[in-house]
Amino acid sequence: MKFEIVTLFPDYFTLSLKQSLVGKAWEKKLFDISIVDLREFATDKHRTVDDTPYGGGGGMVLKVEPLDRCLNSLGWSHREDAAKRETEAVIMTSAAGDKLTQDRAIRYSLMDRVTIVCGHYQGVDERIMSLYDIEEVSIGDYILSGGEPAAAVIVDSVARLIPKVLGNFESAIEDSFMNELLGAPSYTKPSEYRGIKVPEVLMSGNHAEIRSFRRAEAIRKCLERRPDLLENAELSDEDLKLIRSLKKNIDR
């Protein structure tokens, strides 16, 4: 798989993407990342890629011409055919975009190539959206000074799902949101600290009971912190019975 990141600040990614497991996987060539400097596609001596918005207002807007030349140089044609879009995607980081979810990260991880355009200050000239089939993606309901942090988040969330990136792929499967639920509480050594003990079931070696315990705790955590997740989760009759029981305790 290949990531391409179009940015005004290529140095931002020099360290940020070379840390932790994702950085090690990049070094092992389990996927490739190309950092593309948008200023290379400007035509004036000042390498101008943004300008003030028509209609007035604060901030600067990314110009359509250099971005068009950049995407074209990467092999993207105007309005790609649907068949190719199943294996490749252009993403624009944007506060107005669809929320980055685990399902979306999984979909991107199965692609051959993902090109991420880092959004910019006031925005991007809207005409680029008419020229290319671009997916706008947001990582949350807040404002950033640029799309670089969001691009790094997208790469991390997608890359860790690529086979062999995580030493134990089971870790990815059991992640929070992977099954529409938050993850169960985690514990490690020592088994007791300041009088607080690790739940005995986790040290029992009984894998069936451990799975059941973790499932119940994940549901409990969702009910307490993100009850909205339970609305779309696949729940068994046992899960629903547990939820009813937990809700009774909460109502008390």
57: pLDDT confidence band, cut at 50, 70 and 90?
confident
pLDDT tens-place string over residues 95-151: 999 999 999 999 999 999 999 999 987 789 999 999 999 999 999 999 888 999 999
**Neighbouring-strand partners of residue 93:** 137
Q: How confident is the model at residue 168 (pLDDT cuts 50, 70, 90)?
A: low
pLDDT for res 79: 82
Look at residue 170 and tell me whether its pLDDT is greater than 60: no
pLDDT at 120: 83
pLDDT at 177 over 60: no
What is the Cα–Cα distance from 44 to 98, expressed in whole angstroms?
34
Does residue 34 register a pLDDT over 80? yes
Residue range 211-219: average pLDDT? 94
For the chain, list the domains and their CATH numbers: 2-159 (3.40.1280.10), 192-251 (1.10.1270.20)
Instruction: Judge whether residue 172 has pLDDT over 70.
Output: no
Q: Retrieve residue 175's tokens.
A: 């992640």
Per-residue pLDDT averaged across 71-78, rounded? Answer: 95
pLDDT value at residue 219: 94
pLDDT for the residue numbered 199: 96
pLDDT at 176 over 50: no
Mean predicted lDDT score pLDDT of the chain: 90
